[in-house]
Structure 1
Amino acid sequence: MKIYADRFPVALRQFLTDLLVVVWVYAAIRFAMWLYDLVEKLAVPGRKLEGPAAASPTTWPRPAARWAGCRWSATS
């Protein structure tokens, strides 16, 4: 079993296609890593806002429920 064809033009085309696929996969991985880092940076302000809300979960729903005209209980 041979990896590439015997004729030079066909073998060259196969090799260049393989090389292009390797470069494309590398670029896709680098892009995914860059995008992940970008999303992580965007998540920082959300985590800062999440901290105070998580500290007092029962204080926020009551005013909203009163404004909406709903009954609110601590168990629901």
Structure 2
Amino acid sequence: MIPDDVYYNTTLGSEMISFVDLYVLNQHYKCSEKCKNKPTATCANGRFPHPHKCVKCICPSGYGGPLCDRRSNLDRNR
């Protein structure tokens, strides 16, 4: 597959799933509904609760902690 935009050449066929892909899959399969009647984390930075551990958040690269409110050490050194 060849993208129309050359800037996306290296993003196709990645061995890892991206955070956005994971978010879209969770929305499509309504994974967040598993946390509806349970104590749920209030995730920082627009992140979302883990469907099996609702008090923790799924964080993208660069963020960490149970609520995705901490920057990684690598980002702090820049």
TM bracket, shorter-chain basis: under 0.3
Give me the TM-score of the superposition, normalised by structure 2.
Answer: 0.23
Larger relative helix fraction: 1
Bigger Cα Rg = 1
Higher RCO (Cα < 8 Å, 6 or more apart) = 2
Give me the TM-score of the superposition, normalised by structure 1.
Answer: 0.24
Larger relative strand fraction: 2
